[in-house]
Amino acid sequence: MDSVREIPLFNKLSEEHFRQLEHFSYFKTYNAGEIVFYEGDDPGTLYILVDGVLRLYKTDPKGHEFYIHQFVPVSLVGELACFENMKYPATARFITSGKILKIDYKRLENDFFKNPDICFEIIKSLTRKVKILSNVIHQEMILTSDAKVAKFIINHFDIFNSLKNNEVASILNITPETLSRTLAKFKKQRWIEQPRHANTKILNKAALKKLFEE
Amino acid sequence: MDSVREIPLFNKLSEEHFRQLEHFSYFKTYNAGEIVFYEGDDPGTLYILVDGVLRLYKTDPKGHEFYIHQFVPVSLVGELACFENMKYPATARFITSGKILKIDYKRLENDFFKNPDICFEIIKSLTRKVKILSNVIHQEMILTSDAKVAKFIINHFDIFNSLKNNEVASILNITPETLSRTLAKFKKQRWIEQPRHANTKILNKAALKKLFEE
DNA sequence: CGTGAAATTGACTAAGTTCAATGGCGGTGG
DNA sequence: CCACCGCCATTGAACTTAGTCAATTTCACG
C-alpha cells in the first residue's frame, strides 16, 4: 500500500482532499521493535497502520509494560490524543516490521470531518476503541489470573499454542511464573493436557469457562 | 427538559426527524438508587441523561462494585452496546434522582446517522468515553492506592472535601480502611492536615504530586 | 445525651510478584 | 558427536499490596 487512495478510511474522499492529504502525510516503514510514539509525547500526528503488528502499552512506575492491545492493519491510531489535544496515553511499538501513514493532524482542514463517510469511519474506529478499553478493564479489573488464562486459552487457542509462555504472560499482564503455576494447576485438575512437543489439549472446556463467566 | 427538541445532541435535527424520534422515545424519571440497566442486559435502548447523576460500574464475582464513571447531563449512554449489538458492559445506577430519554435504537432510521451534526455529536461522545476509559485504566492499573488518593485530593479537592471518606473510597475503588490508612500516612508525613470540623489542608503539594507523576 | 453511621486501628488473609535456584532444550562450534 | 551456552520454563520461599474481619472510637444529629 503506497498511496493514501488505497486506504479504506479515505475511500470516499474527493480528488481535492486526496491532493491536500498527500501534502501533509507520508508513509514510513519500521523494523520490529521500533517505537512509533511514546506515552507522554505531544500529539499532532495521526497514524494509520497499513502493515505489520503494532503493540500499544503503558509503562508503570517500576518500568513494567502494561499491555493494552495489538493493532493489525488497517487501524487508525492516535486519534484520541489528536482530537483532545492531549499527550499520547500509551506507547506504540512495532512487534513485526511494518508501515504507517503519518498525517499532520493540525493541517487537516476542518471540512475534512464534514465528510459523512470519514465521520462514519471515525465513529467505527472510536467504537472499536471503546470496546477494546472496556475489555481491558474487564480483563484486568474483574478477572483473576486464573480466569484470564482460561479465557485466553479458550478464546485464542491458536495464538496460545503459537506463542511462548513468555509472550502469553506479557499479553495477559501477568508474570511468566504466575502463568506457569496457573497452567500447572489446570493440568493437575486435568482441565488441559500439554504433551511434550505437541499442542495443548483442552480436556474440560466447561470447567475453564466457569472461571471467567460468572 | 421535556422535549427531544431541547437536547443538544439533536439540535440540528430536521422537523421530520423530530417527529420520528418522538415516536420511539420517551422520558423516564428515576429516584436515587434506581438502576437504568444492568451489566449483561441485552442492548437496544439508547439513553440520554438529561437530569441527575448516573453512576456506571461493573460488578466483580465477589459482588464488589467497580466504579467506572459518573455521568452528568447531558450525556449519551449505552451507545457502545447499541452500535456493536453487545450486552451492556456495565451497570448504570442513579446517585441522585434524575431523568433519562430512552430511545428505541433499532427503530432509529439509518439516515439518522447520515446527519453530519449527529455524527459529530456521536464522535464527541465516543471520544469522551475513550478518554474516560483510558483514565480508568491509568488510575487502576498504573497507580498505587497512595497515588490514587493523592491524585484525587489534588485534582478534585472540592469533591474530596464534600464527600464522606466512604464515598471517596468507592470512587477510587479502594476500601475505606485503605483510604483511612493512606490519609493517616499523609498526615504523619505532614503532607496534609485535617483539622477537626474543617476542610483538609494540603501542606506539601509537591510531595503528593510526586506520587502520581512519574 | 444516645443512637447509628462513619472512621480508625490492628491482626490476619489473599493474590500475585519478586528473587533465586534448578532443569530442559535447542543451536553452535570445536 | 558432544560439551557448552543462552533462553525458557518450573518451583519454592519471601515479600508486597491491599482487602477482610473485628473491635473500638468518633461523630453527627435528633
Residue nearest the C1' of C6 (CA based): B166
Query: What is the structure's pLDDT at A74?
Result: 94
Q: Is the pLDDT of residue A1 over 80?
A: no
Q: Nearest CB to A123: which of B61, B119, B138? A: B119
Q: Is B60 exposed, middle or buried (0-12, 13-18, 19+ CB in 10 A)?
A: middle
Residue with cell 417527529: B19
List CB contacts (< 8 A) between A136 and chain B.
133, 137
Task: Please state the φ and ψ torsions of residue B128, each to the nearest 5 degrees.
Answer: -55, -40
Query: What is the structure's pLDDT at B190?
Result: 96
d(CA B165, C1' D29) / Å: 19
Q: Nearest CB to A114: which of B66, B116, B141? A: B116
Helix (H, G, I), strand (E, B) or coil at A172: helix
Q: Residues A147-164, buried b or exposed e (16+ Cβ, 10 A)?
A: bbbbbbbeeeeeebeeee
% of chain A with per-residue pLDDT over 70: 100
Q: Residues B23-36, buried b or exposed e (16+ Cβ, 10 A)?
A: eebeeeebeeeeeb
* pLDDT tens sequence across A107-150: 887 777 888 888 889 999 999 999 999 999 999 999 999 999 99
Cross-chain Cβ contact B134/A214 below 8 Å = no
All three cell numbers of B12, joined, read 440540528
Q: B161 beta carbon < 7 A from strand C?
A: no
Residue with cell 456493536: B84
Query: What is the structure's pLDDT at A127?
Result: 97
Q: Is A111 exposed, middle or buried (0-12, 13-18, 19+ CB in 10 A)?
A: exposed
List for chain A the helix, strand, coil content (%; round to 5). Answer: 50, 20, 30
Query: What is the structure's pLDDT at B15?
Result: 85
Task: Kindly give the parts of chain B with pLDDT less than 70.
Answer: 1
Q: Nearest CB to A60: which of B80, B133, B142? A: B142
Residue nearest the C1' of C5 (CA based): B166
Distance CA A7, CA B48 (A): 34
d(CA A97, C1' D28) / Å: 64
Q: Nearest CB to A131: which of B80, B119, B123? A: B80
Question: In angstroms, what separates the C-alpha of B197 from chain A's closest C-alpha?
Answer: 36
Q: Return the closest-CA partner of residue A60 out of B210, B173, B150, B138.
A: B138
Q: Please check whether residue B184 is in contact with residue B146, taking contact to mean a CB–CB distance below 8 angstroms.
A: no
Q: Is the dihedral of CA B205, B141, B47, A130 positive or negative?
A: positive
Phi-psi region of A172 (alpha: psi -120 to 50; beta: other; left: phi over 0): alpha
Residue with cell 483532545: A84
Distance CA B136, CA B172 (A): 10
Which helix (H) or strand (E) is B173 found in, with range?
none
Q: Is the pLDDT of residue A19 over 90?
A: no
Q: Please check whether residue B66 is in contact with residue A142, taking contact to mean a CB–CB distance below 8 angstroms.
A: yes
Q: Is the dihedral of CA A154, A157, A161, A163 positive or negative?
A: negative
Q: Is A80 exposed, middle or buried (0-12, 13-18, 19+ CB in 10 A)?
A: buried
Q: Return the closest-CA partner of residue A171 out of A70, A37, A41.
A: A70
Cβ pairs bridging A and B (under 8 Å): 95
Largest CA distance in chain A: 64
Question: In angstroms, what separates the C-alpha of A197 from chain B's closest C-alpha?
Answer: 36
Cross-chain Cβ contact A133/B130 below 8 Å = yes
Q: A176 beta carbon < 7 A from strand D?
A: yes
Q: What is the mean pLDDT of residues A23-28?
A: 94
Q: A183 beta carbon < 7 A from strand D?
A: yes
The 10 Å Cβ neighbour count of residue B190 is 10
Amino acid at B183: L
Question: In angstroms, what separates the C-alpha of A144 from chain B's closest C-alpha?
Answer: 10
Q: Nearest CB to A137: which of B84, B113, B133? A: B133
pTM: 0.94
DSSP string spanning A132-154? HHHHHHIIIIIS-HHHHHHHHHH
The 10 Å Cβ neighbour count of residue A184 is 11
Question: In angstroms, what separates the C-alpha of A57 from chain B's closest C-alpha?
Answer: 11
Instruction: Protein contacts on strand D: list nucleotides below 7 Å from a Cβ.
Output: 8-13, 17-22, 27-28
> For chain A, what is the mean pLDDT?
94
Instruction: Protein contacts on strand C: list nucleotides below 7 Å from a Cβ.
Output: 6-11, 15-20, 25-26
* pLDDT tens sequence across B157-192: 999 999 999 999 999 999 999 999 999 999 999 999
Q: B176 beta carbon < 7 A from strand C?
A: yes
Query: What is the structure's pLDDT at B177?
Result: 98
Name the nucleotide with the smallest C1'–CA separation from A197: C25
Residue with cell 478464546: A155
Q: Please check whether residue B82 is in contact with residue B42, taking contact to mean a CB–CB distance below 8 angstroms.
A: no
Amino acid at A167: E
Q: Which residues of B touch A (CB under 8 A)?
A: 58, 60-61, 66, 68, 80, 83-84, 86, 89-90, 113-114, 116, 119-120, 122-123, 126-127, 129-131, 133-134, 136-138, 140-142, 173, 214
Q: What is the mean pLDDT of residues A162-180?
A: 97
Written in H, E and C, the secondary structure of A8-56 is HHHCCCCHHHHHHHHHCEEEEEECCCCEEECCCCCCCEEEEEEECCEEE
Cross-chain Cβ contact A123/B122 below 8 Å = yes
Cross-chain Cβ contact A60/B141 below 8 Å = yes
